[in-house]
Structure 1
């Protein structure tokens, strides 16, 4: 999304008060033994849609190994719809802007195993404490001080893809590991010659991950010159900007704005291909089977790159420092400026049949 998911105050409290509260509560906790035959699971993962798309592959493998187990996922408003569509879990929303809603987590049914897939927010670790469970595991991430209250700790590795970290923490419960996210979607007629573009992204450092709008305009006109149709996806908050952009640049294209994910899945599975910045949409489109050209910019593709057999990444030739967790202040803010339209077209022609 074309906005930050959390405000400055929320991030400050998460970093300061969150660490203090977790450290204090750790003195009251006793380590518990891991259940040998779990019959219920609770998964915790707030954040954006891309996180949930990746995690859905792991949850699917757990459900295959434990088909009779009761499964609940506690997520954020931003990734709720992806959780409902892509996982077999009962979905419960935890919104940091609604404290009363968080207290109700105490009323959830006790799970045998709780897995906190959050790598750095103290918020996820705190709500993991609120949720009744018989055993709890979570990440110990360098410099984040969030691991004090788990029964077992899994060390987070910032040198591998986040999906691999998810598999590492849940490995003993998975039928297989290394399986990529996948969503079977109903095909929609009429999109066989349509390329879908997505220009926007969200998160704290979203500006460093966006490509210049002038470049998008040039790319769109090149694709139109190939005799293809264009569609742009956006959320409702971005639609006025997108409409003005297309009007000012004289680009004739469909706008797919703020549609349900099940409808987006049908569009992605039926189109010729997708070109997008690194975001939840790129991950979701790839899971739906679309050929995806991803513009990585400051995002480290080895950590957060979109995964898929028909997915390729366009990155600048040199990057001073990439985003690893998403909040680094010293990441290369101008990396997207070094991604040219010619670079994107060159890669796109190898992935999407533009001619």
Structure 2
């Protein structure tokens, strides 16, 4: 479920030192346009993580179809987040952009002549650069403080660090006359549900310990805490299933090996399932416990009982959008300061260890029928 593009230092440097001057230069030679009166094709650029794509594209497609009946909608993703596409509201075409090859990405965009092109990325300049070179009649994106990307677009919306990211995406859509979207909601395919039903029975809780992106380890709960929580749930007659991508498989096996419980009660399936199948696995669980990452947003979009573990990320900005979910953060240390994901102080030490097993267990009791152990 993860890809090596996510968090690559060379791509971040390219984006900053080449992307900024390129966007600024193009803005000087390209006139601004207005929303076309006739709209036949709409393109959506979503190059962020899976969670960002759930929060942006998922709610956007239904309201854009209502605002522009009959228009074709094309989705442009990176390889890193393309796996979530089958769970999103259907688009008419999916194109995976090779963002490490900008010239090829531009060619792919220009083949599809867009009347409106909306860039949902908040800080990377690559989305703005591709938008400006796309040949679209009208382009729309964020003006994000300090990121120097807004010059590329025909119209912009100021990106706010005071509201949930979903609200920022909703504000973008209002520029083209779309109504306010609802929170994202998803469901796995019937094929994925059948597969999970054939492989799983009984009551289990899903743990997702793995974050992604820049300094991901700073957003992860300590391994020992996960192991203690798993033992506590087994004592209460719940099995525990650890999820993750292929890159997490070995670490997940080591984590599970360190939990002294009867065989088969705690299992890792990291790297085993597609995102669609993982959604079905989550859907059949009693509850999901996850750090702030794509799986957390997926659990919320499935409207499942969810405990979301936050530390440097602010739940107000990035919390799960479901009344059945609860986000919790440590009560001490420096917390809730991340806006775009890279604003770590040089002397920052992870605060996640300050979130105790007892606090998470108490939150689980609120989310599900969890009796005390004998």
Q: TM-score if structure 1 supplies the norm length?
A: 0.94
Q: Structure 1 residues 303, 4: closer, same or farther in 2, change over 3 A? A: farther
Alpha-carbon RMSD: 2.0
Q: What residue is the counterpart of 1:325 in the other structure? A: 340
Residues 1:4 and 1:137: Cα distance change in structure 2 (over 3 Å)? closer
Deviates more, 1:308-317 or 1:210-219: 308-317
Whether 2:266 is the aligned partner of 1:253: answer yes
List aligned pairs for 1:160-175, cutoff 5 A. 160-173=163-176
Deviates more, 1:77-86 or 1:303-312: 77-86
Alignment of 1:110-121 (within 5 A): 110-121=113-124
Q: Which runs of 5+ in 2 are unaligned?
A: none
Distance 2:24 2:67 in 1: 35
Tell me the distance in 2 between the aligned counterparts of 1:79 and 1:123: 15
Deviations 1:126-171 (A, max 9, x none): 1112322111111111110001121111111111011100000112
Q: Mark the runs of 5 or more structure 1 residues left unpaired by the alignment.
A: none
Which moved further from structure 2: 340-349 or 75-84? Answer: 75-84
Runs of 4+ that moved beyond 6 A: none
Choose which of 302, 306, 309 in structure 2 pairs with 1:292: 306
Map of 1:197 onto structure 2: 207
Q: How many corresponding residue pairs? A: 355
Q: TM-score, normalised by structure 2?
A: 0.89
Aligned to 2:361: 345
* Structure-to-structure mapping, 1:1-355, within 5 angstroms: 1=2, 5-55=6-56, 56-89=58-91, 90-99=93-102, 101-173=104-176, 176-185=179-188, 186=190, 187=193, 189=197, 190-191=200-201, 193-251=203-261, 252-258=265-271, 259-321=273-335, 322-330=337-345, 332-355=348-371
Structure 1 residues 79 and 36 mapped into 2: Cα distance closer, same or farther (>3 Å)? same
Return the alpha-carbon distance in structure 2 between the equivalents of residues 24 and 174 of structure 1: 30
Is the CA contact 1:274–1:290 (under 8 Å) kept in the aligned structure 2? yes
How far does residue 99 in structure 1 lie from its aligned partner after superposition?
A: 4.2
Shift of 1:173: 4.6
**Displacement of 1:6:** 3.1
Q: Distance in 1 between matches of 2:46 and 2:174?
A: 17
Task: Please tell me whether the aligned partners of residues 108 and 132 of structure 1 are also in contact (alpha carbons under 8 angstroms).
Answer: no
Please give the secondary structure, in 2, of the residue aligned with 1:257.
Answer: coil
